[in-house]
Structure 1
Amino acid sequence: MTGRNRIRFLRRGEVVELTVMAPMRTLLDYLRLEEASRGTKEGCGEGDCGACTVSLGSLKDGRLVYEPVNACILLLGQVDGKEVVTVDDLSQGGRLHPIQQAMVDSHGSQCGFCTPGFVMSLFALYQSGVAADRQVVVDQLAGNLCRCTGYRPIVEAALASCTGRPDDAWSKARGETEKTLAGLDDGSDLFIGDDNGFFAAPASDEALAQLTEKHPDAVLLSGATDVGLWITKQLRDIGKIIHLGRMRSLCRVAETADAVTLGAAVTYAEAERALGSIDPDLAELLRRIGSKQVRASGTVGGNIANGSPIGDTPPALIALGSELELRKGTVTRAVALEDFFIAYGKQDRAPGEIVASVRVPKLKRDEAFRCYKITKRFDQDISSVLAAFKFTLDGRRIASARIAYGGMAATPKRAAKTEAAVQNLSLDDAAGWNQAADCLSEDFQPIGDHRASADYRMQTARALFIKALTEISGEATRNTRVTGVRELVDAG
């Protein structure tokens, strides 16, 4: 593959170029071991604790946006064309950055190990220009864990400093930074290494097709929120990596009157507005996927392609009737999302074939949707059960249903017998709902694990089915939501 043989990124106002790079090299290892910028800490090594948080500046629709990312699982090659900002950079000329000064003033640091990550998450919020309230701050810091239990002063520091009026070296250099990053975006293909081992980031469909055809054994990398753990926790030797993040054809969000189409490399953060416009429950589901750091890197396409039975987005997208576009070379094919998952760890995807996009139908006027994520803790946790329901209504009659669960089988799966049982029932027939719910035991035989027992999963699946119908029926005698309360819809 012709093109560039070096990565280029902006660091402290200067463009850094690297021609030699191990494919699996993480950004954290580069910062600490090669650059000796050791303010960024290594904690969990799996993108959960946030101690390694740095900020990446990139152009989104021509505008500079700073986002927090977990440097421990982000591969160095992924920062090509971006600006890297770490806690070591913030104080300048002997003066602390406004975020750092607010942390000092509010006594927001305890043992100090996690503090750099908190500061960098808040740096991204500071640069966003959003006047933060408490909920915004809590969402921003959901991916930063402190074992000293000192969150109150940290939140106070955020409220005092993130006022929506950034005034620091980065805000003043915004125009120049945008110009530099635009210059780095040369549209060329990136390939570092040789046929035995490489990090590649193609920018064209032709280059991607050539690479996947020649190297069907290469790992396709999107956000590295999963692949990063293969490296840091499973210690896999991944010699060939094809990063999809520079493929403009895979980074598009397209909306029509009846659907939202997401390229496979669209991040959760980039998909949030479009998917959230379909239904409030989808917006809430996306808010609870990982953390700000995870959503800035992880992709909906990656969540689908890895085939996890507890992936958050597939059950909701299956319930909505979503369809995948798969591509191998120049040949494309469409497959219903529910048919993509064949068995545990096995998907309907040939060697060298990629998930190119997912098309998500919007709701029609006679359709009602509900989605619920059940976890041990509210923020940044893996689902024990994820349930999604779409009911097509004819007045008060349920004309048809699409019901999908995650965590209940070896793959995300529809509840076919339950769908048939609820069809033609009335939204006023609570006894009929309960009889239909009995069919869940025919649709699923869940296993027990450290997240939930089989019995808990079955009881929860049943309760969520009844909960969805209760809300859709307009029954408002009790509040069915603990958090993220939505207005109950009168389906009639």
Structure 2
Amino acid sequence: MLNNIPVKVESIAPDMTLLRYLRGQQNLTGTKEGCASGDCGACTVLIGSQGPTGWVYRAINSCICPLGSVDNQRVITVEGLNDQGQLHPVQQAMVDCHGSQCGFCTPGFVMSLAALHMNSDVAGSGSMEEQRHAVIDAISGNLCRCTGYRPIIDAGLHAFKKPAQMINIVQEWSADAPLAGNPVLEETDCFYAQPTDEAGLQALLQQYPDAHLIAGGTDLMLEVTQFYKTLPQLIDLNRVSGLQAVEIQRDGVQDNAEAYVEIGAAVTYTRLERALSDISPAFVQFLGRLGSRQIRNRGTLGGNICNASPIADTPPFLLVLDAELLIGNAAGEYRREPISQFYRAYKQTTLATGDYLAKIRIKREALDYPVKLYKISKRYEDDISAVMGAFLFDGQQQLRIAFGGMAAIPRRAHATEKFLHQTTWHRDGQVLPHILDQACDVLRSEFSPMSDVRASAEYRMAMACNLLKKACNEIIAQLNGQVVAEGVFDHA
């Protein structure tokens, strides 16, 4: 359903993006093409999917969204927001608050704020501070500020004064519309497939072992938009039921077995924020630094792991949690593997042809340990890490340390951990600075970061040492009941 009109699409390249389709074949040019990488937000549209209580709309970047992934969903562009000629409350607020100047990026802002207006639970009852935070979060992936921050934020707050306006659906699909999850594989073996279970996924991997797996596509689709490659075979994981579940074992586990949290590899960051809000607030707070709302609405934990980037944000946290990966293959076999053994070298993992990541498993008690997560980046929101540090004080009173951006792979600092474990580094509720200085010497000996456009090697090492000291001080303060400031995520 495109702006309330049923559309059937045939004979389209599997790697056709939603943005190219909207602009080139539907002439819906209000959705703009800016960065082609999911950074600027000019291409933001709304995607509606069926939820337990009705249709739920979320903002996404159409420039890196493959068209096939919105099969049997509703797509709303800025042209479809108004209702019988009446501006949407967000559109009217942008006019009233003078929130637009050149206008190129304005449709993206409108769509991001419209998603907030439809879905937010702080619109009527939230405090002004909560509403402002919600607005800033909603537009964190819309980077143009030619009008300035204030009028756009004012427009978002002003729209909260109007009742939430849902999309007025007056049409539905016809009864003979194709069902989702039943891909048609063309004779040319060029296809976009959406299996609905792991058996279907495994059958496809047997027949097409070289096909690309895609979930959020927030990195893979850059191969198309930035490097102009073609992806002729895509297997979409977003409707594989086993990869979409989040299972949280709480009290009452039988036979003294350990409780675990199991996260499907295709679970989005936005879903994780809701699922883990009570049991891992530090991780949920950290997710606010991972991309933008549009990215978190599509990006997945499994994708961040399997991308094998040395500056991926979540692997350092999973390393200090001693997370375990469940890996399946085309033959229907599974193996469990510690994430510490998953990365072999730069952009290389233990995944073989026909393998896929199914689930991430974390001990429930590990999420209760004191943890500090720090991200160093040039921009606070929607930016890539220069250094990512994760520090966890476990049940044996040992400090676990992991870094991203300090080596060719995300890595634990085992030598530094061993030094701190064998040395008294805190006494009477205070850290011992000279011991931490020695720990930093060990850290320098086990990491050799590189220089690139984001940071020099010297800067990265200095930041890693400072983060180690910061984490030790804050963890000891927390253990002694002292209040530690919440804003623990830094940018340079």
Q: Considering the TM-score relative to the shorter chain, is it more than 0.5?
A: yes
Give the aligned CA root-mean-square deviation in angstroms: 2.5
Deviations 1:392-419 (A, max 9, x none): 256xxx3x23211000000000101011
What secondary structure does 1:153 align onto?
helix
| Alpha carbons 2:279, 2:367 under 8 Å: kept | no
SS of residue paired to 2:110 = helix
Residue 186 of structure 1 and its aligned partner are, at CA, apart by 4.2
From 407, 410, 417, the equivalent of 2:408 is 410
Distance 1:285 1:421, change over 3 A: same
Deviation string for 1:214-258 (max 9, x for gaps)?
A: 211111111010011110001112111111111111111111123
- Which residue of the partner structure matches residue 327 of structure 2? 326
Q: Which residue of 2 aligns with 1:360?
A: 362
What is the aligned partner in structure 2 of residue 452 from structure 1? Answer: 455
Q: How many residues align?
A: 468
Cα deviation, 1:246-301, whole Å, max 9, x if unaligned, reads: 11111111111233211111111111133443433211211111001000011000
- How much has 1:474 moved relative to structure 2? 1.1
Q: Report the CA distance shift for 1:52/1:190 in structure 2 as closer, same or farther (over 3 A).
A: same
1:483 matched to which residue of 2? Answer: 487
Query: 1 CA distance for matches of 2:319 and 2:464?
Result: 16
> Which of 154, 157, 177 pairs up with 2:155?
157
Match for residue 164 of structure 2 among 163, 166, 175: 166
Match of 1:140 among 138, 141, 150: 138
Query: Contact conserved, 1:19 with 1:192, CA < 8 A, in 2?
Result: no
Question: Which residue is equivalent to 1:7?
Answer: none
Distance 1:389 1:164, change over 3 A: farther
Residue 5 of structure 1: aligned partner: none
| Counterpart residue number, 1:115 | 106
What letter is aligned with 2:487?
T
Residue 227 in structure 1 maps to residue 220 in structure 2: yes
1:227/1:366 CA distance change after superposition, 3 Å:
closer
User: Which residue in 1 is equivalent to 2:292?
Assistant: 291
CA contact (8 A) 1:316 1:404 kept: yes
Query: For residues 76 and 187 of structure 1, what CA distance do their matches in structure 2 show?
Result: 13
**Residue 281 of structure 1: SS of its match in structure 2?**
helix
Change (3 A) 1:377 1:119: same
Question: Of residues 233, 242, 267 in structure 2, which corresponds to 1:240?
Answer: 233
TM-score (norm 2): 0.89
| 1:200 match | 193
Task: Report the alpha carbon displacement of residue 205 of structure 1 after superposing the two structures with TM.
Answer: 1.8
Q: Distance in 1 between matches of 2:483 and 2:366?
A: 26
Residue identity in the other structure for 2:275: A
Percent identical among aligned pairs is 42
* Cα pair 2:386 2:454 within 8 Å, conserved: yes
Q: Would you say the 8 A contact 1:129–1:165 is kept in 2?
A: no
State the SS of the aligned residue for 2:199: helix
Task: In structure 2, give the amino acid aligned to 1:471.
Answer: E
Tell me the residue number matched to 2:467: 464
Q: Please report how far the alpha carbon of residue 338 of structure 1 lies from its aligned counterpart in structure 2 after TM superposition.
A: 1.4
> Aligned AA for 1:483?
G
Give the distance between the partners of 1:364 and 1:285, measured in 2 at CA.
Answer: 17
Distance across 1 between alignment mates of 2:4 and 2:269? 29
Call closer, same or farther: CA 1:362–1:373 in 2, change over 3 Å: farther
Unpaired stretches in structure 1, ≥5 consecutive residues: 1-9, 486-492
Distance 2:367 2:212 in 1: 42
The answer for unaligned runs of 5 or more in structure 2 is: 124-130, 251-258
Q: Secondary structure at the match of 2:374?
A: strand
The one-letter amino acid of 1:437's match is C
* Correspondent of 1:349 among 337, 348, 351: 351
What residue in structure 1 maps to residue 208 of structure 2? Answer: 215
The answer for the alignment partner of 1:3 in structure 2 is none
CA contact (8 A) 1:191 1:201 kept: no
Q: Which amino acid aligns with 2:437?
A: N
Which letter maps to 2:291? G
